[in-house]
Amino acid sequence: MKKLVLVLTMLLAFACSSLAFAADGGDLNKEQKAAEKMMTSLAGDAATEYAALAPSLSAELGKTMDQKNFAAIQSQVKKQFGSLKETKFHSFERFDQGDRVTYIAAFSKENVVIMTFMFGKDAKLQNFSFSPYKAPEKAPAEKK
């Protein structure tokens, strides 16, 4: 009987802890969808893609990034990095004021680009950045 009670207690503890680990899942899913929408919108028509992206933007970002600015961002990304080839989810970080979702992307002109998306508590996109990753150069070996 003691073993049965112990087993049931362990199962209940594992079930409760697994629910607690999945608590951020809903926010992560929403934020990943918004980030993926932003990444795919870089290749399409500026007007159409901006209209699809606009509901995911925070009020502040929506004021500063209108359709004209979005077209300029598309142009700048295409000029600097080329066309998007693939993306891979890298990390999700939760902070007091919002969340950060990071992807690693490959473009035609840059092999590794770190794409960071900042979200507010309402899961709306507040800011983003695309940074090419440059591997640190190895220091020359010392001669003896």
pTM here is 0.76
The whole-number pLDDT of residue 18 equals: 55
The whole-number pLDDT of residue 25 equals: 74
**135 pLDDT higher than 90:** no
Q: At what angle do helices 46-53 and 67-81 cross, to 10 degrees?
A: 110
In the chain, DSSP finds a helix count (H) and a strand count (E) of 5, 4
pLDDT tens per residue, range 6-60: 555 666 666 655 555 555 578 889 999 999 999 999 988 999 999 999 999 999 9
**Phi and psi for 43 in degrees, rounded to 5?**
-100, -15
Confidence of residue 95 (pLDDT cuts 50, 70, 90): very high
